[in-house]
Each structure stands twice: as C-alpha cells, then as structure tokens.
A and B are shown apart, each in its own frame.
Chain A
Amino acid sequence: MELVGVGTVADQVAEGLRERGWDVRASADTGAGDLCGVLVDPGLLIPAGGGDEAADVVELLRGAVDRARARFPATGGRVVVLVSRDLLGAPARTAVAAASGALVSAVRSLALELGRSGITVNVVVGLTDAGGDDQEDTVGAHVESLLPWDIECDDLAAAISFLLDERSAYITGQVLQCTGGASLLSSLSA
C-alpha cells in the first residue's frame, strides 16, 4: 500500500501511518507502478510564522493530484489533505486560516471534478498549536479539545488511514474534524 506524502508530513504522522501498514514515500515523482494514495500536508499545524501560508497550498495540492493521477490504477485512488482547525476562523492566524479554508474549497472542487474516476479527495482537520515554537508539541490540543485526553499525531494518522482505505470509496469532498470537539459551535463545521 504505497502512499506518497507531499509537503511537510510530520514524523509522528508518517510513523502512525507506517504502523497501519502504509508504505509512506516522500514524493510523487519518484517510483513507478500503482499508487494507493497521497497525503498532502502543507504544514499548517506547525505554522512557520512567516505569514505566507496561503500562497502556494492550492498549487501544492493541484500538483500532487496531477502527478498522482498518472500513477493511480484505473479503479482510482485516495487523496487526503491535512489542514488546521483555524479554517473556522482564528484571530491573529489569518494566513493559516485562509490557507486551510482555501484547501477545503479546493478539495470539494477536486472531489466533484474527479468523482467519476474513482479518486476520492478529503480533508482531515487537526489543531494548530497557538503556542507555536515547540515543534514537539505543536499538534497537541491541551487547551481546545473538549475530550479528557490529548489529541495526538497518531490520532490524525488513524483518521487519515481510514480515509485512505479502499473501503472509503463513497466518502469524498468531506472534512473530518480530529479536534476532540473543538470545531463544534461553528457554522462551518456541520
């Protein structure tokens, strides 16, 4: 089950996917033969702080999908994009919010465009740590998750793995919130 990661796939997410049986490769241009899926992670859960997050993410996605299509078998494939809960609106993080929102709209458009080809395109939403600097802890959700446990990178990997599965063929254009309920109470989350 070869999976290509595009962008800045965090080590723990890649590790979680490997534990679930995915052969995670770094880029879509390398390798030949059938490809099962693509994980596009523009790094929005670990914002660089430079403010240019919105600039190239849609191009990154489009490029990844175009390259992957050449290697998906005739029956289709899976694309999963990792974005930030900031898409619901996040004060002082307009760039991450805008990039995430843009990707959701792009995913919905691609899902319509590619629907007949058996390719599904979906979004997994994680929490961006407001604290910023500590890379180890950036996906942690101590503040926002409503559940009594922390949201880990491995939880994102579990959700991504679900959407990558061949049995998820009838799920496309969707946004799966892995935020422990922190996305509720927003009109954009239903």
Chain B
Amino acid sequence: MEQTSRVAVVTGAGSGIGAAIAREYAAAGAQVVVADLDGGRADAVAAEIQTAGGRSVAVEMDVTRREGFLATFAAARSAFGGVDVLVNNAGTGQNGGIRGLDDQTWERTVAINLSSVYYGCQLAAQEMVPRRAGSIINIASRAWLGWYGQFAYAATKGAVVSATRSLAIELAKYGVRVNCIAPGLIDTPLMQSLDQPVKDKLMEAQPTGTLGTPEDVAWAASFLASPAARAVTGQTLYVCGGKSIYARPAARGR
C-alpha cells in the first residue's frame, strides 16, 4: 500500500520477514533503511532494492545495543531526512523445555526480542512526537499465546504485545500509531530447517492448511504503515492462517 515519500527503518531486514517488509515498502515508494547484525545481508537487500529502482541504505547494527539504534537513526536522517516508520523485526527463537533453558539463552532472547523494542520505540518516539506523525510496528508472534518449549520466546513476545499497547495509548494524542503483527508459521530459513515430520505436524494444526510467506507479513506491515490504517493503533494483527483462533495442543504427556 502507498508509502510514497516515507522513510522506513526495518531491523533484521537482511533475511526472512524483515527483508520482505523492506522490499514491500520500497516497491510502494518508501525510502528504506535496511538494518541488520549481518552487514553483508543488509548490503545485499539494499542493493537489490536499488537495482529494482528503489531508494535504500544498509546499516550494520546490533538491536541489543542502544548505539545500534542511534547509528541507524543517524543514517536515516543523513540519507533521507528522518524516520516516519520503524519496524522492530529482528528477533530470535528459543525452543526447548524450561528444564534445559540456560541463563545465556534467556538473557539473549530478552535482549534481542525485547530490549531491542525498548531502544527502537524510545528513539522513534523522540523522533516522531515533535512531528506529530509516525508509525511503529513491532513484530511479535502468535506464540505469545503460549506454546511448548517457548518459555523465553513467548515471554518476550508477550512483552512486545503489551509494550505495543502501552505505547499506543501514550503516543496516540501525538498522532503516532503503534501496532504489532503476530505472525504464525512463516516460511523462512528457520521453518525450512525443521525436519519433515515436525513440519507435517505443524501444518496439520493450521486452519488454512497453508504455510504463510514473508510477503504475507509484509502486506500486513504495509497496511499498518499506510494511511489506510489511520484508525488503527494498539492492534495485534495476527497473520497466522487462523492458528490464533485455537491450536490443538499435542496429546498429554508430550
């Protein structure tokens, strides 16, 4: 959807969902800052956008550090004059029961999935409130509703949902909208790495019987950033093939 003359920062845009959002925004006319820990991947996505006729710069940054966001916003300002849209997308999965969860994994999950949203939202608010406009989109996960072996992942994504709601309330009067997307199963390298039987089981639990694509999420992110979503703030938009309605848990004793 129409994003003409907007500047968008997308974190974790070197791969999967983030890359699809960056491409979608650029194709709709936005100028896009492709931010990722992996500078090479960020460069590749930005180059691809430029080749397609879009405007984009790449920034190698770490979302777990405030400096990473300071550098990214500075790059956005110097290349394109400011930030109209921030997509906090970079994230990491955690899988495994709580008995095997170690402190390092817990802390890393909190840092990548949650501290990142704190730094990003704070800088975005400072940038957007004086201009009385802007849109922040946080990528949560349907898994925030709870799932096996997802103690850390679900906890951080649930925090992203509630942080989104609080910030939406706080920034509404300044005309800044804050929403989150809760994707379900999406076909990214992470999904592709799973064993076939695991994949089959996951697909069985999908009401649509289909696997989502990064482009499905990018489409939703495009709506939320656009004037079409002018009435929408504080929303958790599930892009999950209906799995958030109800997912049949595995048999007892799993």
Contact = CB atoms under 8 A, between A and B. Distances in A.
A10 to B, nearest CB: 15
B33 interface: no
Contacts of A148: 132, 172-175
A184 B209 contact: no
B237 A184 contact: no
Chain A interface main SS type: loop
Interface residues of B, number: 43
Contacts of A173: 207, 242, 244-245
A115 B209 contact: yes
A120 to B, nearest CB: 8
B169 A181 contact: yes
Interface string B233-252: 11111111110111000000
A79 interface: no
B208 A170 contact: yes
A189 B245 CA distance: 13
A151 B228 CA distance: 11
Interface in A153-179: 155-156, 158-159, 161-162, 165, 167-174, 176-179
B163 to A, nearest CB: 12
A180 interface: yes
Given A161-B228, A170-B240, A183 B234 contact: yes
Contact of B237 (A111, A165, A174, A179): A174
Interface stretch (B66-74, B104-112, B193-201, B215-223): B215-223
A170 B212 contact: yes
Contacts of B1: 162
B238 A155 contact: no
Given A158-B230, A162-B228, A108 B245 contact: yes
A112 B242 contact: yes
Contact of B232 (A112, A118, A177): A177
A115 B242 contact: yes
A147 interface: yes
B190 interface: no
